[in-house]
Structure 1
Amino acid sequence: VGEFERALRELAGFGALSPKDVADLAKKFDKDGDGTVSLVEFMEYLGKDITEMLEQKLRRVLVKAEERGAYIKDIFDEFDKDKGGSISLEEMEQVLGKLNVFNNVSEEEVRKFLQKLDKDKSGSIEFD
């Protein structure tokens, strides 16, 4: 509860919570019952889709990469092994992992995010 309590107290409106209130909230947020409140669980409770947050983070990472001279198409082409214009969801997961986009995110949420990127449900992501 320590980190969770500190996080709640730093958010506006949660400063006056008793330790019991914090424990009750932690139980409410802890959907899988593992005794911790993951970022995914917290975001779900707040009504935010973690994939939205990941998209925003990916955009920020790619903007920074371009500012440093690394262009998105070049990064994509590096992982497009057969040069067919697409990379598999597994390869995309590796790319984003190397860019540190998925820190503190469950594998399930990563899969949801990648499936959202796969617009045509082909199992791969095209550069377009």
Structure 2
Amino acid sequence: MFLAALFHDVGKLWDYTPYKKYHNGYEEAFFSLQEILNCFNRKEPNYMWELCWKGNPHKRLIHHISRSALCFQEAALKYNLSSEITDNILHAILSHHGLKEWGSPVAPKTRLAWLLHLCDGLSARMNDCNRVDAYLEKPQDH
């Protein structure tokens, strides 16, 4: 389960491009990885801009599920994982969205695949709850 959970969304690193979104609506690309990392090391929030991400052509052409499977396959070969373990984890990664209509190349067919799919769905719903909570905590203009 650990390897499936670790690798299932790693392909998103290729799907999104980070950028600065200024409060006046202006957007600016980052110039280096170090500049992005500095965002996470700030002691105080930057009130002039926020770190945002937007999908790029890789997301439309390759998609994170395929890239995640490729990354895991590469690691499995490097560390000589058995074909049984590799196939089970690859299946879980490829099926973690559940249905083909939701982006998975295959539907979950094993306990591991179902567990990863359900945990991924729960994580997404918790993120939805966090966004609702943040919205409700903001002062409303009435």
TM-score by length of 1: 0.32
Greater strand proportion: 2
Q: Which has the higher contact order (CA 8 A, sep 6+)?
A: 2
TM-score by length of 2: 0.30
